[in-house]
Amino acid sequence: MNVKIAPSMLSADFANLERDLKAVEKSGADFLHVDIMDGHFVPNITMGPDQVAQLRKTVSIPFDVHLMLSEPLKYIDQFADAGADIITVHVESEGDIQTCIDAIVKKGVKPGLVLSPDTPAEVIKPYLDQIDMILIMAVYPGFGGQSYIAGTTRKIKECRKMIGDRSIDLEVDGGINFNTLKEVVDAGANVVVSGSCLFKGEMRKNMERFKEIIAE
Ligand code: DX5
Ligand code: ZN
């Protein structure tokens, strides 16, 4: 399976964002994972659509925008206009999930659904024929640098089975590093997000190591 790598810019140096994001691009990353937090759905705040639109001007790889918002529907159009290529919405957020998917599709963006650690995989079933991505959280959303929750591996296998022959990306986010990457990929993930591990030291070298582990 071709595994894609999505560095999470949450761990970038925001005082040197252009430098760090150019390094992401040069390292051969497949997506830029952009974490959007509202201080309500999760206890942290990142940025809004205006900042994403500005970043879009300097980065050309696809933007994988992970919305951690209580009311995602209110902001879908703005993040789509800002240049998101994929927008993922938490199934635990307020409002109707179907309406969110429809709003994303209407903007010509790929829709995805996110499962927090305590949310069972079955919740996603009714939407399988309408989404391009399932994002499984391997940590409680809100912060980078947390440890991979072991039970996630079973959920990845379950989702891979549910996907069957559909062309849905199965992305995993949180706690992925040189030690946990192999387990996640072997369980069936084909998109891996990593923040603190990839941004520590040299992005290019870390990405090379990721690719080696994936190829093992
Ligand atoms: C956490 C975010 C993640 C985070 C991952 O809520 O969704 O994308 O940046 O960071 P690491 O890879 O450090 O766990
Ligand atoms: Zn994320």
Phi and psi at residue 36, to the nearest 5°: -110, 115
pLDDT number for residue 171: 99
ipTM strictly over 0.95? Answer: yes
Determine the 3-state secondary structure of 101 from DSSP. helix
Ligand nearest to the CA of 8: 1
206 lines ligand 1 (CB under 6 A): no
Helices 203-215 and 17-26, axial angle in degrees (round to 10): 30
How far, in Å, CA of 25 to CA of 16, rounded?
A: 15
**Which residue in 20, 165, 173, 186 is the catalytic one?**
173
153 CA distance to ligand 2 middle (Å): 17
The pTM (predicted TM-score) of the whole model is 0.98
| Residue 77 near residue 107, CB atoms below 8 Å | yes
Q: For residue 173, indicate whether it is catalytic.
A: yes
**Ligand 1 centre from 197 Cα, in Å?**
10
Residue 35 designated active-site: yes
User: What is the CATH code of the structural domain delimited by 4-215?
Assistant: 3.20.20.70
Domain layout of the chain by residue ranges: 4-215
The amino acid that residue 197 corresponds to is C
Does residue 142 have a known ligand-binding role? Answer: yes
**Where do the DSSP E strands lie in 3-145?**
4-7, 32-37, 63-68, 86-90, 110-115, 133-137
Q: Can you give the pLDDT at residue 1?
A: 82
Going residue by residue through the chain, which has 216 residues, state the pLDDT in tens, using 9 for 90 and above: 899 999 999 999 999 999 999 999 999 999 999 999 999 999 999 999 999 999 999 999 999 999 999 999 999 999 999 999 999 999 999 999 999 999 999 999 999 999 999 999 999 999 999 999 999 999 999 999 999 999 999 999 999 999 999 999 999 999 999 999 999 999 999 999 999 999 999 999 999 999 999 999
